[in-house]
Amino acid sequence: MEKTYGGAISTTGTNTTLNNNTFINNTANSTASNSYGGAIATTGESETRNSNITITNTEFKNNTASGNIESYGGAISTIGSSLAIDTVNFTQNKAEAKTDNSYGGAISTTGESEIKNSDITITNSNFTNNSISSRIRSYGGAISGINQNLKVNLTNFTDNQATSSSKSYGGAISIMSESTTLSSTLNISNVTFANNKANGSSLSYGGAIAITGANLTLTNSTLDKNSATSTNTSYGGTIATTGESEIRNSNLTVSYTTFLNNTSKIGGGIYGKNNILNLTFSAFNNNTAENSVNLADENVTLILRGNYFAQVDSIYDSNITAQVNGNNAVALLNQTTPSPLKVVLVEKDSNQTITKLGNNYMLEVSSIPDDLITKVNLTVENGYSSDVEFKPLPADSNMKVYTEYTLVAIMNHDANLTISVTTPVNTVGNVTANVDVTENGNPVNGNVIFTINGETYNVTIVDGKAQLNYTLPSDIQAGEYDVVAELESPMYDANPVTGKFTVIKLDIANTTINGTIKTFENYTINTIIKDTNGNTLIGTNDVTVEINGQTIKTTITDGILNITLPTDTMEAKTYPFTVNIGETTYTMQEK
C-alpha cells in the first residue's frame, strides 16, 4: 500500500535548514495507506543516525495530511529526526485519518531509534486553530510526540482541537512513550494554552496536554479555558496522564503555573493516574468538573507545596498518597476562608469580599504594573483584618501575575517573643523559662516550643505568656545551656529567641571522720555526703580514697559513701587518708 510523504518537501537522512519561508495549502494525501507531513516530511536514515531540520521565521498555514489509514503531521512529520523551531507560526493545519489514528494537527514527531531519543525544541512560536480528526484515536491537536524529548518555551497554543469518533488525547499536545528502552519527556516553560479542546465520542484526555508513559515539567505558564469533552467520560480540563502505558508510568512536575476556567467531567484542572504529581506555587481558579474541579487522581503520589485552590470541591482522589508541605490553601472568595492562606488570585476591575478572615491576618495586594492595584476594591467583613497594604509586586518575584488577575497575599501577622530564664542554678533543682508573646503589645495565643539540651517541650500560651519549669537531670554537667523558644501558630510568624542558664558546681561540706580499729582489721567508712547547703548529694558521683599509698576508686549514689579500706596488713599507728569527690578533697584520719 502506498504511503505519502511531504506535500512540499520530503527528505531522508539529511540536514535541512529553512528560514523566512511560507508553506500554504500543501497536502500529503494517501487514499490507500498513511500520509506524513502536509508540507514537510523528514525521515532518519538508520537506527544510529538522525536527520536534523531547523526552521526559523516561517509560516505554515492550511496544510493537510490526509490518510486513509493513519495520518501524521498536518504541517510537519519527522521520523527518527531532530527538529528545531524558532519564531514560526502554525495556523489552521490539520491531520485527518479515515479508518484509524491521527497524530499532530501541526507537527508529528516519532523517535524510531532504540539508541537515542530525537530532540524537538520549539520557541517563540504560535500554534493557532490546528486540528486532528480520526475514526479511532486522535493524538495532539497541535503536536504529537512519540519517544521524544520535546522542549517548548515562550510559545502560545490557542484554539487547537483533537476530535475523534472514539478517543482523543491532548487538545494541544500529546506525548507518549512506546519504546522499552527510551522514555519521552516534555519540558514546557513560559507557555500559554488557551481554548484548546480534546473531544472524543467515547473518551477524552487532556484539554491542553495528554501524557502516556512520559514525564512532564511545566513552569511559569498559563492554562485558560481549555476543555476535555465527551458524551461518555473526559479527564483533565488541562492535563491528563492516561495511565494506558504498559511500559512506564508518568511523572508531572508543575510550578508557578495558573489554571483558570478549564473544564472536564473528571478533574477540571489536572487528572493523574499511576503517576507522581509534584505541584508547587501554582493557583487554580474557576475550573469546573462533575468530580473534582481542580485535581483528580488515581493511584497517585501527590506532593503539594504553596498552592492555592479557589474552590472547595478541589481534590478528588482514589488510592492517593499525599505529601503536603508549606501552606496550601483551599478557599472560596465570598465564603469562609480557612487558614493559613497565603496567595490568592483576584480579578482586576472587580470588587472582592473576604469574610471570616480572622483578626490575626493582614492583607497585602500586589500587582504589575503599579497602577493596576487601584482597580481592585477589597473588602474584609466583620471588622477582622487589621491591615490592608497595596504595593507593586517585587521585580524578582517568582509568582507570575497575569493580565486579568492580581495577587492578594493573606499573611500571618508578625509576633514578638521575649524570654527570661532563671540563672545561675546549681546542678540540683529547677530552671524556669518565661516567654512573652505579643503583637504591638497585645497578647498572642498559640504554643511555644522550648528546646533545652536536645529535648523539646510544648507549652500552651495563656494570655500571651508561656512558662516552662524544667527539672535538671541528675547527670547534668556544669556549664552554660541554651533555652530556645519558637512560636507555633498558624496565624503568626515570629523569630525564635534564645535564653541561657548556667549550671554551677556544688561545694561539698567538709566532713571529718575519725575511727579506731585493731590491727589485722579492715576499716569501713559509712557516711552521708552533703553539700554546703546541707543537702544530700543527688545522683551518682565518682569517689577516690587514698590511704598509705594505695588508691581505692568507687562510686556513691545519692550521697551514701560506703567503702572498706584495706587496713588489715597495716601496723598500728595513725594514718591520714583523703576522699576526693569531683574537685573537692577531704583529709581524714584513721587510727
Summarised one tens digit per residue, pLDDT across range 416-472 is 878 788 765 666 668 888 989 887 788 877 899 999 988 899 999 898 899 988 888
Q: Is the pLDDT of residue 213 over 80?
A: yes
0.85 surpassed by pTM: no
| Strands (E) located in 184-249 | 184-189, 192-194, 197-200, 203-205, 209-212, 214-219, 222-224, 227-229, 233-235, 239-241
Domain check: are 63 and 100 in the same one? yes
Residue 385 lies in a domain: yes
Domain check: are 166 and 126 in the same one? yes
Domain check: are 141 and 207 in the same one? yes
Domain check: are 521 and 498 in the same one? no
Residue 237 lies in a domain: no
Domain check: are 406 and 470 in the same one? no
Per-residue confidence band for 148, with pLDDT thresholds at 50, 70 and 90? confident
Domain check: are 455 and 400 in the same one? no
Residue 302 lies in a domain: no
Residue 395 lies in a domain: yes
Residue that is last in its domain, among 504, 530, 553: 504
Count how many Cα atoms sit within 13 Å of the Cα of residue 138 in the half-sphere of its side chain. Answer: 40
Report the candidate in 110, 95, 111 with the shortest Cα–Cα distance to residue 63: 95
Q: Tell me the pLDDT of the chain averaged across its residues.
A: 77
Contact present, 20 and 50 (Cβ < 8 Å): no
Report the candidate in 527, 571, 562, 566 with the shortest Cα–Cα distance to residue 546: 566
Residue 555 lies in a domain: yes
Domain check: are 114 and 47 in the same one? yes
More confident residue, 335 or 181: 181
Residue 509 lies in a domain: no
The residue behind cell 554537667 is 477
Per-residue confidence band for 395, with pLDDT thresholds at 50, 70 and 90? very low
Residue that is last in its domain, among 504, 530, 556: 504
Residue that is last in its domain, among 504, 536, 567: 504
Contact present, 326 and 306 (Cβ < 8 Å): yes
Residue 42 lies in a domain: yes
For 383, the domain range is 343-412
Range ranked top by mean pLDDT from 28-37, 76-85, 191-200, 359-368: 191-200
Domain check: are 348 and 435 in the same one? no
Share of the chain above pLDDT 70, in %: 68
Report the candidate in 111, 99, 95, 114 with the shortest Cα–Cα distance to residue 37: 95
Domain check: are 368 and 444 in the same one? no
**How many domains does the chain divide into?**
4
Domain check: are 399 and 456 in the same one? no
Domain check: are 180 and 99 in the same one? yes
φ/ψ (deg, to 5) at 111: -90, 120
Query: CA quadruple 359, 360, 362, 363: dihedral positive or negative?
Result: negative
* CATH code, domain with 495: 2.60.40.1930
Per-residue confidence band for 319, with pLDDT thresholds at 50, 70 and 90? very low
Domain check: are 156 and 118 in the same one? yes
Residue 403 lies in a domain: yes
Q: Is the pLDDT of residue 312 over 60?
A: no
φ/ψ (deg, to 5) at 372: -70, -20
* CATH code, domain with 529: 2.60.40
